[in-house]
Structure 1
Amino acid sequence: SIFFGSSIKPGSLSLKWYFTGSLVAELRDNKHNGELIQVSGNAHAEDYNNNVAGVVLYDEGFILLTGSWDLQPEEIPMTNPSSSDNPKWIYFGAGAGDGVSQFDDASGNGRGNFVSCSFNLSFQGTSETQVMTMFTHARRGEANFSNNPTYQLYGQRKMKLSSSHVYEENPEKLIANVASSSFSNHSASFKRQVYISRVALYDDKKNLIGIATLSNPVLKEEDQDYTFKLKLDI
């Protein structure tokens, strides 16, 4: 369902009845078993607290209300203009697509205090999603090279020789030392380390099928092992 997904989450359902803006009573499925129990009520309805006023079918999304006790002493035309009754749980949601409105007929004769009633229905839905879980390993001595241009020391010659017949890169290019030192204005000893920011996914034919991006890059030194857990909704 577009309203609650696979089912209504047990324990999350709440029905509230308001009159002139004040809460009259509330139902909740506190026992997580589908029973809708009145958990609060005003001075007129509090005697029925802890009574079951209906049931909810979580998977189907149906709510069946049977509570027929009075919630408010004032009578309101909840079903048709010729008869009035006290607010009850069986009238919850009156006016929502049932032909009942604040007007009796096309001439605009009013139903008096019908508009004083308001209702609130809230719940949480659950959805089941198939998930593929994968693990990728950056082992010790591996994944220690970066294609980031800042990985190499700045200002070096990129080429050793270039002509119409030969192109040769500089074989003596140095890697930038980004190891942190504990002392001010001092360069620490060189360590081969990289920051892993993305993990590429390939199929069995080495075709790139996806890229997983880390929320924060992970520093990996050459003597460290890392395992990344990836989840893919399918």
Structure 2
Amino acid sequence: MDNHNLYEVAVAAIVMKEGRYLITRRAASKKKWPGLWTVPGGRLQSSDYVNIPMGTVSARYNILEQAVRREVKEEVGLEIDNLRYITGLVDQYSPDKPHSLIVLFIADWKSGEVAPQEEEIDQFAWVSLAEAEKYELIPGIREELVMAEKIKIARAMEWKKETDTITIEDFSKMDLRIGLIQKAEKVEKSEKLVRLTIDDGSAEGRVILAGIGPYYTCEELVGKKITFIANLQPRKMMGAVSHGMVLAA
């Protein structure tokens, strides 16, 4: 059969964690694009669907989503969540082989630390869109990261739209307190985040991460009184956990 009438199906994911994207460098031993940077992904395998009992919903639907979850887990050791379709594309790398139909997703990091599959990947990095420009990317990856960035911004705007107004009942749920900043430290690998240790009346104090690095030095912050929300759900950012939100400094 003419190879031009054959397609192999592949899946890939742009994994996002704390606003940054995971890119990986293909091992030098790879025949295709050795030493260039890309995102995790691979071919759809028959094992992704042949062993699923027929007659079940799983036998017909979400096969590509299951495949990309498997590929990300195998290649980089991560669990992912909230998959959204970005685009589909055709890779015509070799005229002598079937073309690849690639389905690309954006996904949120769910759990795990990056553990590259050695025969596939020799380096990895979490990058912003601007930082990705410094890497030698496989053709098309930059454009796909731009698509992912647009989706990220659209989601943030949608969230803002949904939360533009609150009721007095919503406001009354907030536990607003005033505390004294005892310690301020820059968060490693972040241009904005500052780790604040606040005297909130407890023995150990309260740690809050605030994106105020561009506006204050750590020395200026120590000794200031600030207003913060004390009952906000803890949030992990850049490897540290924030227990509240600063409203003023």
Structure in which a larger fraction of residues adopt helix: 2
* TM-score (ref. length: structure 1): 0.21
Structure 2 length-normalised TM: 0.20
* CA radius of gyration, larger in: 1
